[in-house]
Chain A
Amino acid sequence: MTQVLAAQRLKKSFGAVTAAADISLSFDSDTVVSLIGANGAGKTTFLNMVTGYLKPDSGRIQFGGRDIVGLSPRRIANLGISRSFQIPQLFQSMSVRDNLLLAESIAAADDPQAATDAALARFALADYAAQKAGLLPEGIRKLLDVAMALSSRSRLLLLDEPTSGVSADEKFAIMDVVMGAALAAGVTVIFVEHDMDIVARFAGRVVAFYEGGIIADGPPDSVLRAADVRRYVIGEELSDAVA
């Protein structure tokens, strides 16, 4: 197994809030890793630093052996790191097909049309191909968002809460499709998730964040059972849900 992504001693703070307090993490190829933690624990900040949206105050991020700190999101996307968004970022006025076609043509696929057809099939979106993205139901919007991220040059796929905003009975079906497609594409997946059933089912490794640091890292059964995780991650989840 080769290492795809390695972050070393990442620090980032916003005023008095520490979003990343000395984070070191590395990710092997062909793995599925879930990042968990309460709101504000630093999961999305980590994703934002990896994709170049935020620059860490200090520390290094290496992707495929190359230092990527300071590169723009566009350059990083061109290196093969793709991301989906908590709120799907689509081209609202275009059809589903054109959304994917645009993604594939930017990714410089050899044959964007064929790549688009493959993506439509892989993500079970063929029935919606001609529909305008702005008019799709939320679950389909989520799928399209991931489908656009997972273009032909992706090597690392970052998913920010792929099942948020989707009804409970749809979540597993959506994750099945997404993970099936990621597996077929042979990419490494890092996903942020709040639903522990989804985490337990789909992640091979779980990293728990708390106040900008990492409190647990390992296989799902051990991490999800750790006392700190139950207190600070799962417990916080419950109080969040009430608020």
Chain B
Amino acid sequence: MRIAAAAVAAVAALSGLALTAPQWLVFMAMLALAKGVVVLGLLVLMRTGLVSFGQGLYFGIGAYAAALLSHHWHIADAAAMLAAGTLAAALVAALLGLLLAGYRDIFFAMLSLAFSMILYGVLVKSAALGSTDGFNLHARTFLGLALTSGMERRVFLIAGAVSVAAVALAVHKLLAGDWGRLAAGVRDNELRVSYLGASPYRVVYVNYLVAAALAGLGGALAALAVGHVDPETTYWTTSGEFVFIAILGGTQSILAPFLAASIFEALRTVASQYAPNVWQMSLGVAMLAIIMFLPAGLWTLAERRRRPA
């Protein structure tokens, strides 16, 4: 119930922000939301004991699927783009998952990285997709309603907030129930899971699929925010950023990825404005501090406050 209340409050707050805030803040909030939902997918994997260094693959697929919809098929509806991004990522994951679900630990992490870099290589070489420059996308309607110029991002932010809140609640429900316990069981002891009669492979496959779909949604959302896609979305530094945000937030709560993504985006905006040359160094220092003092992520602070000593 607390989570549901938090989701409603977040949607309300983001809607308020969308309607009143300056464009740059709306843009930042959209990016934070987009990255947050990708990291939510990583959280699902981490609860299963896996880390993917290749979520950029699905982030990129989501972004390109959304962009291709308007660019090649002339469907310029934002809702269709979000759905297309999610679906395209899930479809690819349904195939790759068959292979990846058989791997664990560093092998899983590296294989997922490899696939994202293959897509990067393909995108960079495809002249039809704009090569390294990528191409622009324009969403002119939302669920058939025409958008006046200047209003697009504000509408996208509200739509994004609503859809992300819905999937986040669904993920929370999934993880809080039998499935979440089973995923933790796979993380702790696969042998026992098999001998109890469940399939670790299936658990990993399904959670991989969920993580990919969420990353696809995030990619489409980011594409709508930026209005442009390029191969950078699938590059390993993008995937690394998601892992960074996941560690920053921690895996205890589904709210943590969004909190961490917001902090990350705010930090980046401020740092690139005032200290463009040391911005990445400040990230490194932040990561060091988190690992040393809050190894379970920033969410530890929220939990400490709730249970005062």
Contacts and interface: CB of A to CB of B under 8 A. Distances in A.
Interface of A: 51, 72-74, 77-78, 82-83, 89-94, 98, 101-103, 105-107, 112, 148-149, 151
B207 to A, nearest CB: 16
B181 A77 contact: no
A93 B188 CA distance: 7
B182 interface: yes
Interface stretch (B190-198, B212-220, B222-230): B190-198
Given A77-B197, A90-B188, A149-B195, 6 more contacts: A74-B198, A77-B195, A91-B189, A102-B182, A105-B182, A106-B197
Contacts of A82: 195-196
A51 B196 CA distance: 11
A106 B193 contact: yes
Interface size classification for chain B:
10 to 19
Contacts of B197: 74, 77-78, 106-107
A148 B197 CA distance: 12
Contact of B195 (A51, A93, A101, A105): A51
Contacts of A92: 188-189
B196 A148 contact: yes
Contact of B184 (A72, A74, A91, A107): A91
A93 B46 CA distance: 14
Contacts of B198: 74, 106
Contacts of B189: 89-92
B163 interface: no
A105 B178 contact: yes
B195 A94 contact: no
A206 to B, nearest CB: 25
Contact of B194 (A77, A98, A101, A149): A77
A101 B181 contact: yes
Nearest to B186: A91
A94 B191 contact: no
A128 B188 CA distance: 19
Contacts of A51: 195
Nearest to B202: A74
A51 B191 CA distance: 12
A93 B251 CA distance: 14
B199 interface: yes
